[in-house]
């Protein structure tokens, strides 16, 4: 492996969410390069089902920060974006080409959402390669209708997540991931040793939380997943998506 390749792999493995930023701005040229790199990501059937909205207005940012659960870094980061899965533009193109969008197809929803996620992660890698820090904001889905109204999103477009971008003003620890023995399979889904791997990861993550919080948080992955998945999570999303034309058939 070349030094350049090794450096790229190391960069990916160093990813952390940054929630404290300096006051240093990011130039529009830099933003264009980062978003341009993001939109160069793979796209299913050349759908290009991603629209990125940069939010500069302080009042709009403040409203989004509140809707996202009081995440103040939405207001303090140098640049803030909403990443949207977009079939509206595709519908326009379909009409221009003499056809009509077949609304509500689950497959179309999946490829637009996948496109958006791939593009966003490309942008993250580009930003981090320049020394910037990022934080995804899934909390915008707490009230996606208000976010859609603030951004005047048309039907067939929904906000997938927000993204804070700026120069880091903190150096948080790397959060350990599940071991590859659990997540990388050979030929088939063999879960023979998964429980042992998860138990080991629980211990590792517990130590991480204790060290990162100075003993204030003591938790494990299994406890976190039980809390996350053992209850309803944003049940309004199904109705919201249906109202925007994503009826999933």
pLDDT at 162 over 90: yes
- 19 versus 4: which is more confidently predicted? 19
Written as six digits, the tokens of 148 are: 């859609």
pLDDT at 82 exceeding the cut of 90? yes
Q: Does the structure show a pLDDT above 90 at 5?
A: no
pLDDT band at 6 (very low <50, low <70, confident <90, very high): confident
| Residue 247 near residue 104 (C-beta atoms within 8 A) | yes
122 or 13: whose pLDDT is higher? 122
Structure confidence at residue 242 (pLDDT): 95
Copy the structure tokens of residue 144: 């996606």
What's the mean pLDDT when you consider all of the chain? 96
Sequence-distant (≥ 6) Cβ neighbours of residue 23 within 8 angstroms: none
Asked if residue 234 lies in contact with residue 215, where contact means CB atoms within 8 angstroms, the answer is: no
Compute the average pLDDT of residues 44-53: 97
What pLDDT does residue 1 have?
78
Residues 6+ apart with CB under 8 A from 49: 43, 85, 86, 87, 89, 90, 111, 112, 113, 115, 116
Task: Kindly list the distances between the CA atom of residue 94 and the CA atoms of 22, 98, 104, 243, in Å, as whole numbers in the listed order.
Answer: 44, 6, 15, 21
Q: How much is the pLDDT for 246?
A: 95
Confidence band of 37 (pLDDT split at 50, 70, 90): very high
Reply yes or no on whether the pLDDT at 2 is more than 90: no
List of E strands, the chain: 50-55, 79-86, 133-137, 157-166
Give the mean pLDDT of 92-116.
96
* Whole-angstrom distance, CA of residue 159 vs CA of residue 60: 15
What is the mean pLDDT of the segment spanning 62-90? 97
**For a pLDDT cut of 70, what percent of the chain falls above it?**
100
| Residue-level pLDDT at 190 | 97
Cβ–Cβ < 8 Å for 72, 65: yes
pLDDT score at 3: 80
Are the CB atoms for 137 and 55 separated by under 8 Å?
no
What pLDDT shows up at residue 8? 87
pLDDT given at position 237:
97
What's the confidence (pLDDT) of residue 33?
98
Look at the chain and count its residues: 249
For residues 115 and 48, give the distance between their C-alpha atoms in angstroms, rounded to a whole number: 7
SS3 184: coil
pLDDT in tens, 178-204: 999 999 999 999 999 999 999 999 999
């Amino acid at each position: 492996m070349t030094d350049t390749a090794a450096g790229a792999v190391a960069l990916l493995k160093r990813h952390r969410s940054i929630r404290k930023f300096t006051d240093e701005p990011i130039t529009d040229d830099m933003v264009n390069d980062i978003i341009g790199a993001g939109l160069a990501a793979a796209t299913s059937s050349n759908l290009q089902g991603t629209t990125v909205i940069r939010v500069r207005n302080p009042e709009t940012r403040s409203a989004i920060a509140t809707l996202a659960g009081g995440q103040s870094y939405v207001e303090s980061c140098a640049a803030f974006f909403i990443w949207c899965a977009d079939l509206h533009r595709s519908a326009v193109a379909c009409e221009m080409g003499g056809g009509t969008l077949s609304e509500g197809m689950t497959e179309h929803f999946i490829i637009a959402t996948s496109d958006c996620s791939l593009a966003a992660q490309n942008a993250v890698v580009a930003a981090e390669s320049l020394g910037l820090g990022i934080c995804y904001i899934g909390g915008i889905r707490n009230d996606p209708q208000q976010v859609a109204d603030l951004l005047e999103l048309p039907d067939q477009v929904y906000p997938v997540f927000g993204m804070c971008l700026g120069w880091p003003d903190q150096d948080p620890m790397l959060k350990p991931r599940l071991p590859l023995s659990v997540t990388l399979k050979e030929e088939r889904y063999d879960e023979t040793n998964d429980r042992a791997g998860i138990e080991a990861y629980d211990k590792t993550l517990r130590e991480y939380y204790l060290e990162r919080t100075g003993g204030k948080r003591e938790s494990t992955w299994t406890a976190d997943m039980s809390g996350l998945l053992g209850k309803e999570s944003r049940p309004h999303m199904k109705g919201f998506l249906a109202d925007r034309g994503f009826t999933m058939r």
